[in-house]
Amino acid sequence: MHIPGYSVNWGIKGRVLFLALVPALIIAAGLTIYDITTRLRDIEQALHERGFAIVRQLSPASEFGVFSGNYDLLTRLTLSTLQEADVTAVAITNADGGILATSGHYLASPALGRDSPAKPGVIEQADALIFSAPIFQSQTEVERYLDTSPQTSEPKDEARVLGHVIVEISRQPSIARKNQLILNSLLITLTGLALAALLALRMARQVSGPILTLAGAVARIGKGDLATRIQTKASGEIAILERGVNNMSIALKAVQDAQEERRAILATVLDSLDALVYVADMQNHEILFLNKFAQESFGNVTGKICWQALQSNQSGPCAFCTNAKLLKQDGTPGEPVIWEFQNTINQHWYLIQDSAIKWVDGRIVRLEIATDITESKKNERRLRQLEQEIMEISEREREHIGHELHDGLGQQLTGIAFLSKALAQKLITKNLKEAADGTQIVTLINQAISETRQLARGLQPVEIEEHGLMSALEELAGNIEKMYSISCKLTSNNPVALRDSAAANHLYRIAQEAISNAIKHGHAKHISIELSAPQGKIRLTIRDDGSGFQTDLNTTDNGMGLQIMRYRANMIGAKIDIESKPGNGTRITASL
């Protein structure tokens, strides 16, 4: 029977016959081999036992003839033994191996002498077995009684070997019995196998029809025809199998409908996202899926290579590919990777979340969800520009107020101080009691001048000249030591020149903020400020021995001071590194 679209290598009948006959063949072969080998071993063992029994009986019977030299007696013994079944030759030898009597065909005597083993033995040949046994001289109680020599308690010597008996037994009768045994066993086995084959063929005919019908139905179901139903009118296990296949088809149809519904829901959700979603193979980078948003941005590039279809000017996998970061050491999916990137084709900025997931076929793939943040980036740049403008305006206002305090109010206070000092001198000259008040006024005015200058210095700490930053940092270190009674030193092996006044002011503010944090939050007792210019770059480092903090926290948790330092560094294009651990102090480095 042949069903289109369904093929079996041997056919169902062949399979049933195979399953029915092979076990029977294996069992029959095993039993036959076991029976043959057991019975062959029994035949061979019986032949050996019979040969040993003959030589053991002949050996003591030959003792007197060998001892007395009665060759007639020995000849009669050999002739008598020759009458035994399968015995073809008999010989009796003396202790030196010389033949004393023989019957049957000529028997080449084995090398038996005085040094031969004192026990029966056998030599196996292809067509015969040659058995031998020693002839011992026995000592009777009468001989010992007649012996007049003194008796001792020493043990007796072993019995003396007088000679050997040799019997040859033919193996031809036993070989014939063995061959007949093998032939009979094979005939019985083949008869049993023939009967088993007839039964198996009949069973195959009864089973193959319904099974072929079931196989055809399963093949149609496997091709997606889930409306297939079976009616074989069979009974027993075949009927149970028929109902099972029909129920399976119904269940698969329900699962298929549910999957289609879920697939439609998932497609609707993914296509409604304002984000690019695609799946790519992590080995060959083939794109396996794109949602509607991705297709509108880059076209339907399913089946193409991601670094060729989604990027430009790429000769191989992207250097920024996150595949290696998405898997654990054992190859299983790890934590998602979130990053930002500007696409090289449309120049849009995307906030990307990459994850390793298991695909429908079981392989590990990369799922990428990319949200377009181009407008956010533009707004961020505008905000940064606005912040920079505000910072620049603030710095200019600081400079302006500092100049006004120094050049305006400071000069006026200086003039008042001179006039007050002159007035105080006049009062002292006239020896008036108001002279002390005049002197105190001069002192207060001078203090006001000093505070005005210090305030102006704080608003514009760095002078315009190229070495103004070093001077300002040195003055800052001195003021910190006076105000807080801690160690604060500026270290600079060589003079560092910085002509950019804005950059110098921002670096000064970074140092000022770092020192303030070290004192207020870290309770530092020793602070060092290092200013250097390695390879033409400006490097400012502030170290302290305070309590330190965790640097792996996010920016907002680290505090406003660190945010301000990072912002100032970004304003002048500098890079800022913060190293700190609880209990080990802090090191902040700004490189320009």
> What DSSP string runs through 458-515?
HHS-S-SSTTHHHHHHHHHHHHHHHHH-SEEEEE-SS------HHHHHHHHHHHHHHH
Of 273, 275, 284, 346, the residue nearest 316 (C-alpha): 284
Rg from Cα positions in the chain: 58
User: What's the pLDDT score for residue 155?
Assistant: 43
Question: Does one domain contain both 81 and 2?
Answer: yes
Q: Can you tell me which residue has the tokens 């300002």?
A: 472
Question: Does one domain contain both 344 and 444?
Answer: no
Residue 147: inside a domain = no
Q: How many residues does the chain have?
A: 592
The whole-angstrom separation of Cα 514 and Cα 524 is 11
pTM: 0.41
Question: Does one domain contain both 321 and 428?
Answer: no
Residue 262: inside a domain = no
| 504 within 8 A of 474, measured Cβ to Cβ | no
User: What's the pLDDT score for residue 4?
Assistant: 47
Question: Does one domain contain both 359 and 432?
Answer: no
User: What's the pLDDT score for residue 142?
Assistant: 40
Of 128, 123, 133, the residue nearest 169 (C-alpha): 128
Residue 476: inside a domain = yes
The whole-angstrom separation of Cα 84 and Cα 169 is 9
CA angle 528, 531, 537 (to 5 degrees): 145
In the structure encoding, which two tokens stand for residue 312, read together? 């430009």
The whole-angstrom separation of Cα 561 and Cα 292 is 45
Question: Does one domain contain both 54 and 122?
Answer: yes
Structural domain count, the chain? 4
Question: Does one domain contain both 120 and 206?
Answer: yes
User: What's the pLDDT score for residue 505?
Assistant: 82
Helix axes 410-429, 435-459, angle to 10 degrees: 160
Helix axes 468-484, 501-520, angle to 10 degrees: 20
| 286 within 8 A of 309, measured Cβ to Cβ | no
Neighbours of 132 (CB within 10 A): 24
What is the CATH number for 524? 3.30.565.10
Cα 32 to chain center, whole Å?
51
Domain that holds residue 170: 1-137+159-225
Question: Does one domain contain both 407 and 359?
Answer: no
Question: Does one domain contain both 179 and 95?
Answer: yes
User: What's the pLDDT score for residue 1?
Assistant: 45
Domain C-terminal end among 460, 475, 497: 460
Residue 523: inside a domain = yes
The whole-angstrom separation of Cα 404 and Cα 399 is 8
- Exposure of 298 by Cβ count < 10 A (0-12 exposed, 13-18 middle, 19+ buried)? buried
Question: Does one domain contain both 51 and 78?
Answer: yes
Question: Does one domain contain both 221 and 311?
Answer: no
Q: Which residues lie across from 169 on neighbouring strands? A: 87, 129
CA angle 100, 103, 109 (to 5 degrees): 60
- Exposure of 92 by Cβ count < 10 A (0-12 exposed, 13-18 middle, 19+ buried)? buried
Residue 146: inside a domain = no
pLDDT means per 10 residues, the chain with 592 residues, are 48 67 81 86 88 90 88 89 88 86 76 64 87 79 46 54 89 86 86 80 68 76 78 71 80 83 83 86 90 86 88 86 89 90 87 90 90 86 76 69 67 76 81 79 81 66 62 86 89 81 84 89 91 87 90 57 83 88 90 88
Domain C-terminal end among 460, 489, 504: 460
Question: Does one domain contain both 497 and 360?
Answer: no
Question: Does one domain contain both 62 and 207?
Answer: yes
Residues in contact with 48: Cβ distance below 8 Å, sequence separation at least 6, in sequence order: 122, 129
CA angle 39, 41, 46 (to 5 degrees): 95
| 92 within 8 A of 66, measured Cβ to Cβ | yes
User: What's the pLDDT score for residue 82?
Assistant: 87
Domain C-terminal end among 372, 405, 430: 372
The whole-angstrom separation of Cα 137 and Cα 145 is 17
What is the CATH number for 317? 3.30.450.20
Q: Which residues lie across from 527 on neighbouring strands? A: 488, 544
Residue 343: inside a domain = yes
Residue 303 phi, psi (nearest 5): 95, -10
Residue 245: inside a domain = no
The whole-angstrom separation of Cα 433 and Cα 440 is 13
DSSP 525: S
Residue 150: inside a domain = no
